[in-house]
Chain A
Amino acid sequence: MSTETALRSERNRAIDPITLTVLWKNLISIAEEMGTALRRTAFSEAVREGDDFSAAVFDRFGRMIAQGNFTPGHLGSMPFAVQNMLAYIPVEQLEPGDTLVTNDAALGAGHFPDFFFMQPVFDDAKQLIGYVVNTAHHIDVGGVVPGSQGVQGTKDAFAEGIRILPVKLIRKGVFDEDMLRIIMGNVRLPEKLRGDLRAQANANNVGVTRLRALFAQYGRETMDDVMNAILDHSEARARELLRRIPNGTYSFDDKFDDYGPGTDPINVCVDMTFEDGKLTVDYSRSSDQVPAGLNCYLNYSRAYALFGMRIFAGIDVPQNSGVMRVIEVKARPGSFFNAQYPAAGGGRAGCQVRIFDTINGAMAKVLPERAMGAFSHWSNPNFGGVHPETGKRWIMYDLIIGGYGGRVDTDGPEAFCPVFNCANIPIEVHETINPTRIQRLELIPDTGGGGRFRGGCGMRKDIEVLLDDTTLTLLSDRHKNAPYGLFGGESGALGQTLLIRDGKVTELGSKEVCTLRRGDVLSFRLAGAGGYGNSSERDPDRIREDVRQGYVSAAAAAATYGVEIT
């Protein structure tokens, strides 16, 4: 980035801390307002319930200055996506109101459902002053299975739906109807996708208006100085925080169950090297990319590595390109965490928790007070099919979320969203809009890993399917490798996904794809989370309370803690 270096040496005017604080807040609030507009008008459950979107403001050199606090899944990908789009369509070809769009996995956020919208912002003199960008997870972009996130049977990206390399989808404020028609012709719920594309365009318009007003009020020179100061300041702060962690390489290995029924485990291995305030996160020792829709493109691996460091190094400056100057994320090309096109990555959401678990395991060695037992993991099933009466397609996207691992001073919270941050979808909402019935939603006693501080319980959710020919895509894990405990804490219980058909129970693979019949019941049973510290050190009052509340049975209390509760 030669422009950046040139600009930094040319401009060295100091900006006072008050102006910096106030304008920085303003720039972040622009990104947040864009995100709020997007969330409220979205049709995609992933956007509105899961905050699976992001919005950011970039300077005219394509450097990310401010990002709203939405999903961590786009933390690292945005700056790269913008540079990648500009490599296809250079800035000279952009006019006010134009918007560049891509959903490519490698250029963008690692799977096709995420569409990036990038709009240049010009001042009244038609000078480029920056870019506003947002990205959102769409319900379906075509491919083999509803929701475009299949793992089993999705051998490469060609099975994952439409791929859009950077195009000018909006010209001078008007959608290119021809291009839209191509997109709509390739997806399962075209009306919803169209509504969400409009919502994304609208979100950027909110950002354009505000960024122009801010430049008009403070002038180009001050804004340039502020943007440079934000990046320099963030870099310095991130470096200072990383420097507090002793130099050295910290490693941890974990694994995924498999990438579909009958396949091998995938090794997840991280080496984190701290060297004088600079960090390299290297996943190269992990397995090779797999012929299933689970692979992580580097932009995605980077996002959750950055999230992990926000937690462990306590990086408290808002996310921008400056923070990323001190954290390098890498992985061997062709390995699972740096998958190469045409690797399939639709289900990569199944990896985010494990990326964090692995970083957590490595950092536990040097920052035990911030580490925790491994999470329950989660389940992200998609049900879909066609209503026989109306002929309409339906997709039910669900999130089943379990517990946290025990921590240095507390038990792991029950039923709380790990790493990514989603709200569940209420039972009464699901049943109103989808041909399914939820029979049970409850914690599973005796599943949390024992310890001085216990891991949270697993979660059970039973869903009955009310229509024949329903396609089920499973996306879960921890059926074979239990969530680990730390410092003597026990592992959580393993998870299971059961199919109950005509009273007969069959166990399904965590990433299986299958067809269901009317009356089938799927029983999702998430793993329990890992414990922290030795079970023998647990406060007997806590054990008694667990039994009284029904988190732990009296029998399990006797077996795990050797405490008889009557």
Chain B
Amino acid sequence: MLQLAFDIGGTFTDLVLLDTATGDLDIWKVPTTPKAPDQAVATALAERIAAKELSPQKISTIMHATTVATNAILERKGSRTALITTEGFRDVLLIGRQKRYDTYTLHIVKPKPLVERADVFEVTERTAFDGSILRPLDEASVSKAIEAVKKGSYDSVAVVLLHSYANPAHEQRIKALIRATLPDMQISLSSFISPKYREYERTSTTVANAYVKPLVHTYLGALDAALKKLGINAGLSIMQSNGGLVSPALARSYAVRIVESGPAAGVLMCAEVGRDEGYEDVLTFDMGGTTAKLGAIDAGRAAVTPTFEIDSVNYTRGSGLPLNITAIELLEIGAGGGSLARVDAGLVAIGPQSAGAVPGPACYDRGGAQATITDANLVLGYLDPNYFNGGAMKLDVEAAAKAVDDTIGNQLGLTTDEAAWGIHSVANANMERAMRIVSLERGRDPRKYAMVAFGGAGPLHACRLARALHVPRVIVPRAAGVGSAVGLLVADHKVDATVTRILALSAGAAATVGTVFSELEERARNQAASLQGKGDAEVKRSAWMRHVGQGYEIRVDLPDGRVDEAYIAAMREAFLAAYMREYGYIDRDAEIEVTDWYVAATIMASRRKIAARVESAGARRPNKERPAYFPELGGKIPCQVVDRYAIKRGETITGPVLIEEREATTVVLPGDTASVSLAGHLVIEIGSTK
């Protein structure tokens, strides 16, 4: 049987076919067709089926990650959406949380909401925080709002009433009334999409769902038709931002959950690579052309956060639109191969501006004059000008050196090599800061983690980054260039359910806690019933907890089982242990409360065997030598260059060495040792942390 996975990104669509019998992977890339993303997939598959004489019926499952929802939001090309809300609060979305994302700038603007002020309609009603009704729903006001929606020719409606997470009755009634008048209208209720408190974030989430829902609906329909036309009748699963696969039906109702699904799959690939090598705790480091993305896997599971922000400015938190969706934890910063270097007030600064694909780094010879990280890496000898992307593109070393001199060296009085080293090491310092946030600031001790490095530029910087953080080993996976698509193959089917109910964890809480969890578990199981995966769902509980009076909650994973007073005591202990891990101290006397409750139902993927052999790997190249810069050895030294696919099992290579493959080069530092594992991954033991 064959399993098919494809990840439609902004530029490329990556496809992977796994033969479950042999474990062979067939990997290829085609340009994305942005207007109708299903076209590229259909064409690519049709060609592959013809070229390899495959039988479409042999494809048993299909897994898919897509940017269709993300792009609709980023480009503001979603559906015409109306918002119905409680009277007196029409401006909640416009007001937002009001904080500048940069304190030291006043010439700044807020993110553009997905609906305008004129698209918001009020209804008369009021629910209290405990769910009691303070003012019944005035149906005449609802009729007026519906009339306005009808007149405004909207495609989609979001309904967000105050405190609806505590009592959804008024939102549900409004839905029924809309249905009666406008039977085909797409409706998103906040009590269904995101029953959590904090009205701005809930509104933002629900509006985003409404905004992308019609589009996702249409897209999934087109994709399904295209696959069927090729004779592929296998069940389709869609990746969500939390790293779990869902059915197309669920993806349609909770459309907002599929934003950012590609990067999530990349992290799952890292988890699988960690498992291959026997490491349950992994820091993930993906450095591409414009950004670096950093994440973590704890005890074999990708870390998940309860919120996600989309359309942020320069990757700065607080500058974009917040979404209450569970998402794989990823910190993104403006440090990619194309990030531009400059002298800023006498110091070296990098990014977040990027040279992009056009003009690209100076060494691409497409008119770029300002030095990028890639130019620096070329000058330092880390990249082979004749073997970039497998030799598909020749790099201009002189242009890179000139750009480095012009941008940095001449102004700071540094040689070309020193200036290039400056760019390389300042980029590392920026990534180190980000990695410290992901690890130490979130209670993870990097000394206990392995780092999986991928993306075109990740393996160039990984060993330095590992040293700075005292990470003992770096793994560069095979087939790292299509990490997200490979990640889809190993993804589990997963749905989750959450609700806000603020509750002190004191004696007598057991009955309420039991009810909350059983309601959530029922919701999660009902959803899980429609998933493609086989087998029973494994249901896991978590709660977001804090001391009474604090504003930040921490996630505490909880056991299942009957909720009694002993369970409540165990919850308290679990919170204190998590608090200790995160902050380094605890206060046993301070009261503890839960704000949000969370249940995830997972149907585990049957572990697929993936062979070490990658069909599309480049031809083997002879080992050689070239000058490369290592400041600890006094500068440029003749450095051994090894073809990754020429390394034999059991062979150990000691740095300094450059290990090349088609899509990446790994810089192994003096004192580090590299070998290729049974699973085919490159494993580097970091020799020293100085």
Residues on A close to B: CB < 8 A? 16-18, 20-22, 24-26, 29, 33, 36-37, 39-43, 45, 48-49, 51, 69-72, 191-192, 195, 198, 202, 205-206, 217, 233, 236-237, 307, 310-311, 316-317, 370, 372, 401, 404, 407, 410, 413-419, 421-424, 426-429, 431-432, 437, 439-443, 459, 462, 548-551
B88 sits at the interface (CB 8 A): yes
Contact between chains at B414 and A202 (CB < 8 Å): no
Contact among B96, B100, B116, B344 for A316, CB-based, below 8 A: B344
Take A426-B199, A427-B199 as given contacts and tell me if A37 and B550 are in contact as well, using a CB distance cutoff of 8 Å.
Answer: no
In the assembled complex, the Cα of A548 lies from the Cα of B120 at a distance in Å of: 12
A442 touching B89, Cβ below 8 Å: yes
Does residue B348 face the partner (Cβ distance < 8 Å to A)? yes
A410 to B108 CA separation, bound complex (whole angstroms): 10
In the complex, residue of chain A having the shortest beta-carbon distance to the beta carbon of B165: A428
Q: Which residue of A lies closest to B134 (CB)?
A: A437
- Residues of A within 8 Å of B109, CB to CB, are 410, 413
In the bound assembly, the distance between CA atoms of A266 and B590 in angstroms comes to 44
Question: Does B583 contact A37, Cβ atoms closer than 8 Å?
Answer: yes
Can you give 11 A-B contacts (C-beta < 8 A)? A17-B346, A17-B412, A21-B422, A36-B437, A404-B106, A421-B103, A422-B99, A428-B162, A428-B163, A428-B199, A429-B198
User: Are the CB atoms of A427 and B107 closer together than 8 Å?
Assistant: no
Interface string of B398-441 (1 = CB under 8 A from A): 00000000000000101000100110011001100100110011
CB-based contact B89/A18 at 8 Å: no
Q: Which of B639-667 contact A (CB under 8 A)?
A: none
Select one of B104, B421, B502, B552 contacting A18, CB under 8 A.
B421
Interface residues on B, range: 35 or more
Contact of A549 among B92, B118, B433 (CB under 8 A): B118
On whether the beta carbons of B502 and A432 are closer than 8 Å, the reply is yes
- CB contact between B91 and one of A16, A307, A310, A442 (< 8 Å): that residue: A442
Is there an interface contact between A17 and B347, defined as CB atoms closer than 8 Å? yes
Contact of A415 among B98, B103, B106, B134 (CB under 8 A): B98
Q: In the assembled complex, which residues on chain B have CB atoms less than 8 Å from the CB atom of A18?
A: 348, 414, 418, 421-422, 425-426
**Docked CA distance A46–B552 (Å):** 13
With a cutoff of 8 Å between Cβ atoms, the chain B residues found around residue A195 in the complex are 547, 549-550, 587, 590
Interface SS of chain B: loop
Q: Across the interface, do B89 and A426 meet the contact criterion of CB distance under 8 Å?
A: no
- B591 closest partner in A (C-beta): A191
Q: Which of B92, B414, B425, B502 contacts A22 (CB 8 A)?
A: B425
Among the interface residues A202, A401, A432, which one has the most CB atoms of the partner chain B within 10 A?
A: A432
Asked whether B89 lies within 8 Å of A427 as measured between CB atoms, the reply is yes
Contact of B129 among A71, A237, A428 (CB under 8 A): A428
Q: How far is the CB of B320 from chain A (nearest CB, A)?
A: 15
Contacts of A70 in B (CB 8 A): 103
Residue in contact with B118 in the complex, picked from A42, A310, A428, A548, CB distance below 8 Å: A548
Q: Are B348 and A415 in contact (CB under 8 A)?
A: no
Given contacts A16-B418, A432-B502, 19 further A-B contacts (CB under 8 A): A17-B414, A17-B422, A18-B425, A26-B429, A36-B437, A51-B99, A72-B104, A198-B585, A413-B108, A414-B110, A415-B98, A416-B100, A417-B100, A418-B106, A422-B98, A423-B98, A428-B163, A441-B88, A441-B92
Q: How far is the CB of B295 from chain A (nearest CB, A)?
A: 18
- Inter-subunit contact B549/A43 (CB<8 Å): yes
CB distance from B591 to the nearest CB of A (A): 9
Instruction: Give Cα distance in the complex from A55 to B226, angstroms.
Output: 57
How far does the Cβ of A110 sit from chain B's closest Cβ, in whole Å?
Answer: 19
| Docked CA distance A237–B345 (Å) | 7
B 582-596 to A, binary, CB cutoff 8 A, 1 in contact else 0: 111101001000000
User: What is the 8 Å Cβ interface bit string for chain B, positions 542-568, against chain A (1 contact, 0 not)?
Assistant: 000001011110000000000000000
* Docked pose: A48 CA to B551 CA in angstroms: 6
Q: Which residues of B contact A413 (CB under 8 A)?
A: 108-110
**Is the C-beta of B94 less than 8 angstroms from some C-beta in chain A?**
yes
Q: Does B211 contact A (CB under 8 A)?
A: no
Check: B200 CB closer than 8 A to any chain A CB: yes
Are A431 and B163 neighbours in the complex by a CB distance under 8 Å?
Answer: yes
A21-B583 in contact given A43-B550, A417-B99, A441-B88 (Cβ < 8 Å): no
Q: Are B198 and A441 in contact (CB under 8 A)?
A: no
Say whether A428 contacts B103, CB under 8 Å: no
A317 near B345 with CB under 8 A, answer: yes
Residues in B neighbouring A45, C-beta threshold 8 A: 551
Q: CA of A237 to CA of B346 in the docked complex: distance in angstroms?
A: 8
Residue in chain B with minimal CB distance to A14 = B413
Interface presence of B179 (CB below 8 A): no
A25-B430, A417-B98 are known contacts. Are A20 and B347 too (CB-CB below 8 A)? yes
Q: Give the CA-CA distance A36 to B582 in the complex, in Å.
A: 12
With a cutoff of 8 Å between Cβ atoms, the chain A residues found around residue B128 in the complex are: 431, 437
Do residues B100 and A21 form an inter-chain contact, with CB atoms below 8 A? no
Contacts of B549 in A (CB 8 A): 43, 191-192, 195
Chain B nearest CB: distance from A397 CB in Å? Answer: 12
Q: Which of B96, B106, B118 has the largest count of A CB atoms less than 10 A from its CB? A: B106
How far does the Cβ of A199 sit from chain B's closest Cβ, in whole Å?
8
Contact check, B88 vs A440: say whether CB atoms are below 8 A apart. yes
Q: Across the interface, which residues of B come within 8 angstroms of A20, CB to CB?
A: 347
The distance in angstroms between the C-alpha atoms of A49 and B200, with both chains bound, is: 15
B197 interfacial contact with A, CB 8 Å: yes
* A424 x B95 contact (CB < 8 A): yes
B437 surroundings in chain A (CB, below 8 A): 36
Name the B residues within 8 Å of A206 (CB-CB): 584
B58 within 8 A of A: no
Report whether B552 and A233 are in contact in the complex, using a CB–CB cutoff of 8 Å. no
Contacts of B117 in A (CB 8 A): 549-551
A443 touching B103 by the CB < 8 A rule?
no
Tell me if A69 and B433 are in contact (CB < 8 A): no
Which are the 3 A-B pairs with shortest beta-carbon distances?
A48-B551, A440-B88, A18-B422
Closest to A414 in B: B94
Tell me whether B550 and A41 are in contact (CB under 8 A): yes
Q: What string of 1s and 0s marks CB contacts (under 8 Å) between B283-318 and chain A?
A: 000000000000000000000000000000000000
Minimum distance in angstroms from A137 CB to a CB of chain B? 14
Q: Using a CB-CB cutoff of 8 Å, which residues 83-129 of chain B contact chain A?
A: 88-92, 94-100, 103-110, 116-118, 128-129
Contacts of B198 in A (CB 8 A): 426, 428-429
Query: Once bound together, how far apart are the Cα atoms of A172 and B582, in whole Å?
Result: 23
